[in-house]
Amino acid sequence: MRLEVGSRAPETVATPLMAVLVAADRPFEELDALDRAAGGMLRRAVGAGDFKGREGDRVLGYGGGWEDWAPAPAWTGKGPGRVLFMGVGDSASLTPERMRRAGGGAVRAAEDQRVSELALNLDHLGAAVDAAGVQSAAEGMVLAAWRFRELKSARNGGGGHGPGDAEGVRGERTPPLVESAALVGGGASRWEAPVRIARAFAEGQNLARTLQARPGNVATPSHLAAEAERIAAEAGLECEILGPGELESERMGALLAVARGSREEPRLIVLRHRGGEAGAAPLVLVGKGLTFDAGGISLKPPKGMEKMKYDMSGGAAVLGAMLAIGRLGLPVNVTAVVPSSENLPGGSATKPGDVVRSRAGKTIEVINTDAEGRLILADALHYAAEWRPAAIVDCATLTGACVVALGHHRSALLGSDDGLVEELRAAGDRAGEPCWPLPLDGRYRRQLKSDVADLKNVGGRPAGTITAACFLSEFVGSAPWAHLDIAGTAYGKTRKPYLADGPAGVPCRLLLEWVRARAGP
């Protein structure tokens, strides 16, 4: 989506749809000029008691720049063609998430009206609109405009370009792509910086969603590696790709053990952003890049297995975050590591009961081959820990137990450093990607005790999310480390107007908020 800012009087802006955010606790008379442009619909709705500015209240009017001629009326392009007044509740209680939802709601309204551009007016919110609010509203618009259509034929609105008004196979019209938007209002001169940040954050997350949405026969480990090289070229990052030979040389036996059952070669992707002082310890982001997970020999049930293309969601979020970090040129050193493979039940696949040796030298008894994510992460975390990083944060769709514990509303958060855990929790709140801390101590580590190896890869059903994190903690050394289990939040159904059902890109913006806070003002 093209996103601009402008300080023009909203009633003079030529746009097919002007969405106006209306605060319930401010005088509606401030909107008289726009209301007159919309035929007085707001005044009538307020007088009838149908509009009070509450969140969810809406009134749609049509501007005066229309010509009534056969066979249908036509908008002349003079002023706003439509004006949609959207209630957001009291301005004093506005949060970034509510602004994000309002921005997304404006894009959904444009889709309903079948227009490909819109303007969002924030004037009525007054001083309640700070930089965080502007950033969130802009994020909501860019995130809401995302659609995955690259694998559909043009007849079904595919190709990823154009208004998307083609008819589907049953005759239904696909929603249009909203291609451009503007934020307009008296404070627009101060909005350039937060809108620039919002665009980078949301486009990074939209890249993650696109990678998630691609099926396993497209988004293979080599495909993720090629995307990483493209991101590096675009955003000015350094890129290093390790293939099977390099992985052998690096003694990454756990990662290679997972990949044995597939013909697709594994990759370890490394991206570096050198925005800080030379030699300064980097922040490290590690993302699980399991591009398809059939469970290996411990085969998953067929129902829902197609969703296992999403098992690379952590890696996708990290790649999207690195795109945004590079574009923004954040003044901090950041390194991303994405271990990537498939987990299939081939003839050479690792078997339950096998013992594999990790890069750290620790031996692992594989009790369940479907607990493969922690194996590929183990080698990646140990690799990253050798750089003496300022902090390591990994994210992974790691355990079904996380969904049982927290549902689809919060990611699980565990770590070795209380300060780091709190930083990430606060970043998640700012990003609208909340997480919840779980305990991590030695009593859970006992569940991983093995009779034949240094540890097992699973600790049984009790506290499955915690024991998985305990397993990872064995490979981070002394570095401050935190783990985000996104099994319940990375994809699925949503009621957020700025997200479509399917891939969510979580926790891309959480990571970005954390890195930006670490980088300083």
Angle formed at CA 35 by CA 30 and CA 41, multiple of 5 degrees = 130
Cα–Cα distance for residue pair 407/493, rounded to 1 Å? 12
Residue 300 bears catalytic tag: yes
Nearest one of 41, 13, 10, 46 to 28, comparing CA atoms: 46
Look-up of token digits 């999310």: 465
Structure tokens at 174: 């696909």
**Cα–Cα distance for residue pair 118/110, rounded to 1 Å:** 7
Tokens standing for 410? 């919060």
Q: Which of 108, 251, 300, 445 is catalytic?
A: 300
What is the rounded CA–CA span in Å between residue 262 and residue 59? 56
DSSP letter (8 states) at residue 521: -
At 215, which amino acid appears?
P
Q: Are 85 and 26 in contact (CB under 8 A)?
A: no
Cis peptide before 16 (omega within 30 of 0): no
What is the 8-class DSSP label of residue 469? Answer: H
**Can you list the pairs that 448-456 forms with residues at least 24 positions away whose Cβ atoms lie under 8 Å?**
450/364, 450/365, 451/365, 452/355, 452/365, 453/355, 453/363, 453/364, 453/365, 454/362, 454/363, 454/364, 455/362, 455/363, 455/364, 455/365, 456/364, 456/365, 456/367
Burial class (CB in 10 A: 0-12, 13-18, 19+), 4: middle
In 23-151, which ranges are E strands?
58-62, 66-67, 74-75, 82-87, 117-121
Please tell me which residue in 374, 430, 516, 518 is annotated as part of the active site: 374
**Considering only CA atoms, which of 206, 396, 164, 364 is closest in space to residue 289?**
396
Tell me how far apart the alpha carbons of residues 342 and 190 are, in angstroms, rounded to a whole number: 47
User: Which segments of 355-482 does DSSP mark as H helices, in order?
Assistant: 373-385, 400-406, 418-431, 442-445, 464-473
**Number of residues assigned to the chain:** 521
Assigned token pair, 21: 């955010």
Show which residues are catalytic: 300, 374
